[in-house]
Chain A
């Protein structure tokens, strides 16, 4: 079974609108972390937001917020007031446990296209 599932290969949104990118995860660990990264065409992976499994409040970073629903094992990314520069590939990732030697597991990604 996939650990991280992103069901939307592509999403389209108009400038200034909000958009939600879906992510569900599968783990039996009690301690885990959830991440969202943005990858523009240049290839660099840009960290957007992090949510720890024990965090009770949803994480927010500027225009990005993470809708964390633990019981449903979902960690959707909400981008408010989309901008043209938000067009990129977005990856949801998970780290199981909290040890430094644990790598991130990535979903397949969602390509977001923002139009004017």
Chain B
């Protein structure tokens, strides 16, 4: 199946710093990518839809100034958590839809803010 990569897989940072997470579709072009957040033993919650060449669409309750999304090319979307705080600690997963029906997910990024 299609492959989506995510980097880094794990990051620990100090409160107040910014963290950038990259999501790449390796063998297909994705005009749209999605960013999800997941707390332990909970479901995936959609944060935003990332559109290549245009602004991201954020879900209600998600601060767009806090979670900056950039979709610079058809294979790369980035999520930057700005001025991270401990409550931002979570598992962040991106996904992209290939030319087929299936939506593929990256391996996820575990963020721990101290």
Contact = CB atoms under 8 A, between A and B. Distances in A.
Interface of A: 33, 35, 37, 42-45, 47, 50, 52, 89, 91, 95, 100-101, 103-109, 111
For chain B, which range describes its interface: under 10, 10 to 19, 20 to 34, or 35 or more residues? 20 to 34
A101 B32 contact: yes
B101 interface: yes
A100 B32 contact: yes
Contacts of A111: 41
Contacts, number: 55
A50 B97 contact: no
Contacts of A107: 43
Nearest to B59: A103
A44 B95 contact: no
A56 B44 CA distance: 29
A44 B38 CA distance: 11
Contact of B44 (A42, A47, A52, A91): A91
B97 A100 contact: yes
Given A95-B103, A101-B51, A44 B108 contact: yes
